């Protein structure tokens, strides 16, 4: 749905993002999310109220004025920070859980993962997004690009 971006703006007040419509000085708090966070990132953006109900859908960030777009991009980057796994130091399966020790683009991490059928999203044949038991996500941009030992360790528990 194409919105006329002159009818609203995103502003940051006291650490919250507010959606202000023209003529409305107060605005309402919103949460900025990708409509399709795994498969459609970079396209549709949804603005949700505090109860996570959609208020507004944008086809792209291009519908926003420059200041609103900068705020939306900051929120999306903060919300969807997904460390990329660059090396798998160890990966083992015990009693249905998978325990990972990895190096990422944001430092060393250890995490546990349950059922790979539910917690591994194959974005493409070679690109994976892994969700741990706490809901954190990690990305392997390319299994083929991992070193041989890392790839073997990952494949054992996937």
pLDDT-based confidence at 37, cuts 50/70/90? low
Write the secondary structure of the chain as one string of H (helix), E (strand) and C (coil): CCCCCCCEEEEEECCEEEEEECCCCCCEECEEEECCCCCCCCCCEEEECCCCCEEEEECCHHHCCHHHHHHHHHHHHHHCCCCEEEEEEEEEEECCEEEEEEEECCEEEEEEECCHHHHEEECCCCCEEEECCCCCEEEECCHHHCCHHHHHHHHHHC
114 part of a folded domain: yes
Average pLDDT, the chain: 90
Examine the pLDDT at 2 and tell me if it is beyond 70: no
Task: Provide the whole-model pTM.
Answer: 0.62
Residue 53, pLDDT score:
94
- What digits encode the pLDDT tens for the residues 40-67? 667 899 999 999 999 999 999 999 999 9
Q: Based on the fold, state whether residues 71 and 97 are members of the same structural domain.
A: no
Q: Are residues 73 and 95 in the same domain?
A: no
Number of structural domains the chain divides into: 2
92 with 121, same domain: the answer is yes
Task: For residue 28, give its domain range.
Answer: 8-79
């Amino acid at each position: 749905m194409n919105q006329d971006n002159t009818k609203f703006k995103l502003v940051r007040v006291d650490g919250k993002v507010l959606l202000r419509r023209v003529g409305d000085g107060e605005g309402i708090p919103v949460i900025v999310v990708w409509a399709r966070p795994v498969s459609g990132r970079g396209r549709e953006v949804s603005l949700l109220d505090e109860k996570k109900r959609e208020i507004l859908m944008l086809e792209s960030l291009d519908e926003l004025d420059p200041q609103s777009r900068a705020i939306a991009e900051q929120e999306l980057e903060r919300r969807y920070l997904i460390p990329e796994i660059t090396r798998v130091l160890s990966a083992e399966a015990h009693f249905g859980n998978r325990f990972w020790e990895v190096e990422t683009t944001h430092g060393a991490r250890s995490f546990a993962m349950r059922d790979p059928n539910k917690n591994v999203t194959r974005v493409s044949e070679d690109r994976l997004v892994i969700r741990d038991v706490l809901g954190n996500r990690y990305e392997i941009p390319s299994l083929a690009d991992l070193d041989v030992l890392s790839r073997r360790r990952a494949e054992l528990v996937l």
